[in-house]
Structure 1
Amino acid sequence: MSAAREIAIAELRERISSIEGGVAKKGGCLPFGVPEIDAVLPGGGLAYGALHEFAGGGSGTVDGAAAALFAAGVAARTKGKIVWCLTRPDLFMPALAQAGLHPDRVIFVEAGREEDVLASMEEALSYGRLGAVVGELVRLPMVSSRRLQLAAEKSGTLGIAVRRWRRQTEANDFGQPTASVTRWRVSALPSEPLPVPGVGRARWLLELMRSRAGECAEFEVGACDDKGRLDIPSRSFDRQDKAGRSINSA
């Protein structure tokens, strides 16, 4: 079957699903609990019954560590088991636990090929009794993303595609169109400054690069805590500029 025909069939299925209406389960949204972020998202949070894309930025483009922790924090705030599909078994569970995702909640599905990851994600999304389904992918073709989106819509499950690349050049694929409802890029920033010497809470630059029926935006946030929650770092204490001078931000 040609790619054009597959796309046409996927579009037809999506239109039929929207016409039937009652087939798709409406699960509402998962708010971040951060007003600045929730305000720019249609419905006030990440939509359930939808596919969302996360990718690393900056120095974390290839390893995708920040993106994986962001996904873990989102999944941690859902209810039920989490299915995490991957081809590279290199996740560090203590780090996911620090982002709020306890290992007892996670069912790992290891596959030898990305095609198997996509198939496992679709099957898990169709099951309908999970908190979220996460899949690590290098590429996400339009046809595959439509199938995942349709499966998520029918079950009301939150789907997350964590884009991980083996080489920097592969990251160009992130610009290709997909059926995902939102697309995010997560880049590590210097940790939050403290009023005393030490290492503060990790910080991210969170870029909302695409939002269906919404606007793009970016935020500097405190990384997920042990409940999976972000925050906007406080700036009410003295901090230093690049020259080492104290700046009162209160």
Structure 2
Amino acid sequence: MEQSGKLVVAGVSKTFRRDEKEIVALREVNFSVKEGRFISMIGPSGCGKSTLFNIIAGLLCPTTGQVLADGQDIVARPGTVGYMLQKDMLLPWRTILDNIILGMEIRGVRRAESVKRALPLMAQYGLKGFETQYPTALSGGMRQRAALLRTLLYDRDILLLDEPFGALDAQTRLHMQNWLLELWRDFQKTVLFVTHDIDEAIYLSDEIYVFSPRPGHIRAKIEVPIPRPRKPGDMTQAVFTELKHRLLDLLFSEAPIVGAAG
């Protein structure tokens, strides 16, 4: 495949060995993401999406293949991308401000500079007044806001978001989706987003990658033809409904997809 793009995943496979058995989690995953794009990944549970994220994040080594960011090999190089899991992972003994600046602290940024950068963003994105609160005082949505700001302030061009809104109720989830789109527009990051929610994938994304069951590979790459900026009413459009039906067919069809990415 073409070795260009902000992020390139080329021929990535991953096999685990457990109890003297081999489990093939990923098989020949290939894709290239242009700078500033919002990509969602959907697929059945256990298809290897989180394994792929751990490989891109440098936490796992692939059995075969390459991962490149800006043309540089990032295999086994943790910290090259920003990574947020479904659980907010806020440290309960740190205030919200201290949680948000944690990534900058790890990178060696002085506290005064970290606080100077964090406070305006907390005010701009709905966390003003919570600086000295602890995580237990915040709702699920507010905790996810803090976790997203922490990931953003880690200051990496590529963000991996692994089902960050999966545990939220529907109304809070929609608020968070709109908030994420605002952040993405303002900071122009390249985002890879794992979700099991097809509506969420369509609403947020420029492109959607559909994964097969394990061993996971990309069965199809689907462009989302809905113009930006987007609003909740877009979910009632015929093009949205048609795309949802197409994605459902891809997820539940076992036939090979002609022209699929991967």
Same fold (TM over 0.5): no
Shorter-chain TM-score tier: 0.3 to 0.5
* TM-score normalised over the length of structure 1: 0.41
